[in-house]
Structure 1
Amino acid sequence: MPEACRVTASSESEVISAVFADYFAETYKTMLVGGGDEPFYQPSSAGHEFHQIVYRADYAASALHEVAHWCIAGQARRQLADYGYWYEPDGRNIETQRVFERVEVRPQALECLFSIAAGRSFGVSIDNLGGDEIDPFPFQLAVWQQVQVYLRQGLPARAEQFRCALADYFGTVRILRELEVPLIYIL
């Protein structure tokens, strides 16, 4: 943790944003910003020094999820609006939903580990309330399995730094081992 953590926030999402800023604002010129109608990543542009990871309203879960996407995105993707990815809105059919889930396994696994570090509960997000009805268990299991892979093989560097920063700030367990995250935590 930086010598003097500058966290002075009131809501949980503001605390998460402040912890992020303490670690990444200067080195990556990136800020985590709440209040968005929809999550979005905006690279810096003329007149804006910082990249912005915008999360939904003041939702802590949205903040953690959007940081997970940022932690996975490489340097080239971090130069593109929303990392250059597509987003298929709510109302997906089963086939499109499964494609969405394959892309979401890694970010949701990181979000799970960030949630644990922040002392929060976590539940996999299907993000398809108006779409075809599907069995969520295969996706939930895939996220849990990816959590196990991360615990066994390690997280991406920025993700590990953020997870440890959250654990230090919230006073939670910093070192997790494989299988210590029960599947029921993800369901």
Structure 2
Amino acid sequence: MEKADYRCLIELFENCFYADYQTRLVAGDDEPLYQPGTAGADHQVIFAHGFFASALHEIAHWCIAGAARRQQVDYGYWYEPDGRDAEQQAQFEQLERKPQAIEWLFSACADVPFQVSVDNLGGIEVDRAAFTAAVRAQLVAYLRDETLPPRAERFARALAAHYQQSYRSVVCQFLASA
């Protein structure tokens, strides 16, 4: 299996969370979606088009979502599509800072590149560097203050072990660069 093969993420996610949360990671054909289970059906974290980065991003959202949010389609959030104005983009970046920080940690643990997603190709010009700095600052705060959501830490450690990396070294790299 090659390094960024999403199938290993499905297996790792299953091993980490299925017994406790009856939730499966699923490669989708379309846009990402969280689908809560009903009538004995499993919950599903569906990522886009078999993309490794999409899977990491959707797992990050799931790791942040509390129990009540995990009972709602897409955690009860409303998504503003491409073409956002400055105010909408600022709100998007505020909301996306935390999951993208966790995604960055996951990427580092899997030894794959990370790039923030501003997700506004048809909208205003976005300051990608400023958003990257905000996402990094959020990740450093999670690690420095030991406030990383427990499921996120659990999955990050599983990724690091699978990709033969030291979780502690990954964390130290972020903290040293702060």
CA distances 1:39-67 after superposition (whole Å, capped 9, x unpaired): 0000001352x100000011010000001
Q: Does 1:17 align with 2:10?
A: yes
CA contact (8 A) 1:9 1:18 kept: no
8 Å contact from structure 1 (residues 9, 15) kept in 2: no
**What's the TM-score once normalised by structure 1's chain length?**
0.88
* Partner-residue secondary structure (3-state), 2:28: strand
The DSSP-based 3-state class of the residue aligned with 1:145 is helix
Q: Deviations over 1:111-131 (max 9, x none)?
A: 000001111110111111111
Q: How does 1:158-169 map to 2 (within 5 A)?
A: 158-169=151-162
Whether the aligned pair in 1 keeps the contact of 2:143 and 2:175 (CA below 8 Å) is no
Q: C-alpha displacement at 1:172, in angstroms?
A: 1.2
Paired residue total: 175
1:91-102 aligned within 5 A: 91-102=83-94
1:32 maps onto 2:31 in alignment? no
2:139 maps to 1:144: no
Q: Secondary structure at the match of 1:146?
A: helix
Q: Deviations over 1:139-172 (max 9, x none)?
A: 1111010011011022110000000001011111
Gaps of 5+ in 2: none
CA pair 11-152 structure 1, distance change in 2 beyond 3 A: closer
| Alignment partner, residue 3 of structure 1 | none
How much has 1:182 moved relative to structure 2? Answer: 4.8
CA distance in 2, matches of 1:178, 1:76: 34
1:10-57 superposed Cα distances (whole Å, 9 cap, x missing partner): 961111111000111111100000123000000001352x10000001
Higher mean alpha-carbon deviation, 55-64 vs 10-19, is at 10-19
Displacement after TM superposition at 1:180 (Å): 4.5
Given the alignment of the two structures, is residue 75 of structure 1 paired with residue 70 of structure 2, yes or no?
no
Unmatched runs of 5 consecutive residues or more in structure 1: 1-7
TM-score of the aligned structures, taking structure 2 as reference length: 0.92
Alpha-carbon distance between aligned partners in 2 of 1:160 and 1:73, rounded to the nearest angstrom:
14
Q: How far has the Cα of 1:78 moved from its partner? A: 0.4
| Residue equivalent to 1:60 | 52
Partner SS, residue 54 of structure 1: strand
Asked if structure 1 preserves the Cα contact closer than 8 Å seen for 2:60 and 2:100, the reply is yes
